[in-house]
Amino acid sequence: MAEETIFSKIVRREIPSDIVYQDDLVTAFRDITPKAPTHVLIIPNHLIPTINDITEADETALGRMMSVAAKIAKEEGIDEDGYRLIMNCNEHGGQEVFHIHMHLIGGRKLGPMLAK
């Protein structure tokens, strides 16, 4: 797996991105091809290629990803109506960038999770 991703460059602010939150553990930024009115990616600042690569040492960053998702949902005004959090793992799971990331999607009724 890669040691450097486009997300690593976003964390370091080497490429432009609409960052909505950043601290010492995680960074959140708007997806460049949003699937809903609110579509934010939340990532750990250090590279973890897939969910399969998570270790016990990563638990603090992963917990922060969840609390940041709730914070952003409230700021975006989608916390009351609801939103979806999605993490993909590997090719069959739909993962495209091998730096784990959580999609925060909302702002409209999302419908069924998977198409038949």
Judge whether 41 and 19 are in contact, CB under 8 Å: no
57 within a domain of the structure (yes/no):
yes
Whole-structure pTM over 0.75, yes or no? yes
111 within a domain of the structure (yes/no):
no
86 within a domain of the structure (yes/no):
yes
* Active-site annotation holds for 92: no
**Looking at residue 111, what is its pLDDT?**
87
**Looking at residue 115, what is its pLDDT?**
67
Element of type H or E holding 28: strand 26-30
115 within a domain of the structure (yes/no):
no
Could you list the residue range(s) of the whole structural domain that residue 76 is in?
6-106
114 within a domain of the structure (yes/no):
no
**Looking at residue 26, what is its pLDDT?**
98
Number of domains into which the chain is organized: 1
75: domain CATH number? Answer: 3.30.428.10
**Looking at residue 2, what is its pLDDT?**
55
Q: Indicate the Cα dihedral angle 80, 82, 106, 38, nearest 10°.
A: 30
60 within a domain of the structure (yes/no):
yes
Element of type H or E holding 60: helix 59-76
Say which DSSP state 51 is in: G
**Looking at residue 3, what is its pLDDT?**
76
**Looking at residue 56, what is its pLDDT?**
97
Which parts of the chain register pLDDT below 70? Answer: 1-2, 115-116
Please state whether beta strands 38-44 and 102-106 pair in parallel, antiparallel, or not at all (unpaired).
antiparallel
19 within a domain of the structure (yes/no):
yes
Tens digit of each residue's pLDDT (9 = 90 or more) over 39-66: 999 999 999 999 999 999 999 999 999 9
Dihedrals phi, psi of 86, to nearest 5 degrees: -130, 135
**Looking at residue 113, what is its pLDDT?**
81
Element of type H or E holding 40: strand 38-44
62 within a domain of the structure (yes/no):
yes
Out of 39, 92, 99, 101, which one is annotated catalytic? 101
